[in-house]
Amino acid sequence: MTLVAPFEELYRQAPCGLIVADADGVVLEANDTITEWLGTDRAAFVGSRLPDHLDAGSRLFYETRHMPVLALQGEVREVSLTMLRTDGTALAVLVNSTVRGDAGDVHTAIFDASERAEYERALLESRRLAESSEIRVRVLQASSGAFVSSTTEEQICGALLAAASEAFSATATGVFLLDDEGEYVLMAGVHPLDGLLPKSAPRASDAALVEDKTITVSVRDVDGPYTALVAALEAQRLDSVSIIPLLRSGVPIGVLACFFAREHDFDTQFADLQAALSRQAAQAIVRVRLQNELERLALHDQLIGLANRSVIQDTVGWGIERALLTHRPLAVLFLDLDGFKGINDQLGHAAGDSVLVQVSDRIRAGVRTGDTVGRYGGDEFVVVCEDADREAAASIARRIREAVAARLDGIPDPLRVTASVGVAIYLPGDLVEPTNDELLSLADSAMYLAKSAGKDRVAFLHH
């Protein structure tokens, strides 16, 4: 190939690689650009076969697709190939080839596509992360709704199993809760290693709960502390297990175990989603247990059977955390009976007890399913309403106030009882998260506003 002198330097230093090869792929001519990219010199490069400078996949494509199409059409545009530098590293390139002259020589322009390849990899990674984020949001939203609507531990464990199955694509999944003896009871899913683990063997589930972190064990952990678990995984032709703790305020509840038949990438996205699901599930289980405990504690209140002050404080605290998680409002209603002291003073404590029983029944009838009603002390009552904004809380307070104001059995009409209701609304946002005592105090202050405004009315305060 002969160049006119003024164009020779342009050819040698062109911003792309330029190669002339014969029909068999033997390099006849090349510019300095391509030899510099490949880390070779022109003398060594000319005379070599172009396919020998491609990786295995590109070489196969070049010989079975690129050259046949070139022979048929006379040119090929923007073919993506991978060349190999002399040090063995890969160079992503785009290739344009044209057949020229009677001898059928192939003129090829080669463009460095490293930045494009990196961009495409970044784009694919961004898409993968976006898809992962979409799955995470969908799973968390679905599980949050399922956990909120669950009324038993079995339902919560079933919801956790469904969420984990969608999120992690595990071969097998099991949800285990600790019983009173510290044993793990399978509540949902399957236990593929059941009967294969000696009772004396160290339990990875115990470590997950003690250390409050996910423990992952694979068949490659032959020198680790869980050799019995490794042997059981091998026996069931499983590759690994991920054990996620279910903890609440440091109290162990159980674990979620995900088993995988193939090697799995336990990346940050995986860990974050596991942690979010386990936190939601643990909160829901505590809520159900608290509700069950409320029923038990109610037996100690022989008069009206409502939750006591301690339980109400715990319920408000849990409601604040749920509001933060779901980004839904929380309303706390604080009621004080107007006129109750007069009944006690004039008719005696027996009549006062009768009033408290009737009023508590009316309050319970006026709230929604799932709301918690408690006696805070004396003639003070508290209602905790999750997912209740100002409008919903106003409707609940109105029903309660109207019900309390109705005539009471055994109480003369002149001794009328009404309710002053204070409502504190917590809307999760940028404000500092309140404590249970702060939200109760806010509702109490709102109640005094209602009293000072004339009693038998409702007043609101927002955190």
Share of the chain above pLDDT 90, in %: 52
Band (pLDDT 50/70/90 cuts) for residue 283 is: confident
Band (pLDDT 50/70/90 cuts) for residue 133 is: low
Average pLDDT rounded to a whole number, residues 189-195: 94
Is the CATH code 3.40.1010.20 the one for domain 301-462? no
Q: What is the pLDDT of residue 316?
A: 95
| CA torsion through residues 140, 141, 143, 148, sign | positive
Give yes or no for residue 131 having a pLDDT over 70: no
Domain ranges in the chain? 5-112, 132-288, 301-462
Band (pLDDT 50/70/90 cuts) for residue 311 is: confident
Mean pLDDT over all residues of the chain?
Answer: 87
Instruction: From residue 263, give the alpha-carbon distance in Å to each of 132, 232, 259.
Output: 19, 16, 10
Higher-pLDDT residue of 216, 290 = 216
Q: What is the pLDDT of residue 5?
A: 55
Band (pLDDT 50/70/90 cuts) for residue 299 is: very low
Roughly how many angstroms between the first and final C-alpha of the chain, as a whole number? 83
Q: What is the pLDDT of residue 119?
A: 62
- Three-state SS string over the chain comes to CCCCHHHHHHHHCCCCEEEEECCCCEEEEECHHHHHHHCCCHHHHCCCEHHHHECHHHHHHHHHHHHHHHHHHCEEEEEEEEEECCCCCEEEEEEEEEEECCCCEEEEEEEECHHHHHHHHHHHHHHHHHHHHHHHHHHHHHHHHHHHHCCCHHHHHHHHHHHHHHHHCCCEEEEEEECCCCCEEEEEECCCCCCCCCCCCCCHHHHHHHHCCCEEEECCCCCCCCHHHHHHHHHCCCCEEEEEEEEECCEEEEEEEEEECCCCCCCHHHHHHHHHHHHHHHHHHHHHHHHHHHHHHHCCCCCCCCECHHHHHHHHHHHHHHHHHHCCCEEEEEEEEECHHHHHHHHCHHHHHHHHHHHHHHHHHHCCCCCEEEEEECCEEEEEEECCCHHHHHHHHHHHHHHHHCCCCCCCCCCCCEEEEEEEEECCCCCCCCCHHHHHHHHHHHHHHHHHCCCCCEEEEEC
pTM of the model: 0.45
Task: Please state which CATH class domain 5-112 belongs to.
Answer: alpha beta
Tokens of 34: 């391509």
Rounded Cα distance between 437 and 159, Å, is 32
Q: What is the pLDDT of residue 121?
A: 66
Give yes or no for residue 359 having a pLDDT over 90: yes
Q: Which of 51-55, 103-107, 113-117 is predicted most confidently?
A: 51-55
Give yes or no for residue 3 having a pLDDT over 70: no
Q: What is the pLDDT of residue 242?
A: 94
Give yes or no for residue 274 having a pLDDT over 60: yes
Give yes or no for residue 127 having a pLDDT over 90: no
Phi/psi of residue 448, nearest 5 degrees:
-65, -30
Higher-pLDDT residue of 287, 137 = 287
Q: What is the pLDDT of residue 319?
A: 92
Average pLDDT rounded to a whole number, residues 236-241: 95
Q: Side by side, which strands form the sheet with 184-189?
A: 184-189, 172-178, 251-260, 240-248, 215-218
The pLDDT tens digits of the residues spanning 134-146 come to 656 666 677 777 8
Question: What residues contact 32, with CB distance under 8 A and at least 6 apart?
Answer: 12, 13, 42
The pLDDT tens digits of the residues spanning 402-432 come to 999 999 998 888 888 999 999 999 998 756 7
Rounded Cα distance between 309 and 307, Å, is 7
Higher-pLDDT residue of 309, 115 = 309
Of 182-191, 283-292, 295-304, 361-370, the least confident: 295-304
Fold of 132-288: Beta-Lactamase (3.30.450)
Average pLDDT rounded to a whole number, residues 260-289: 86
Tokens of 144: 């949050």
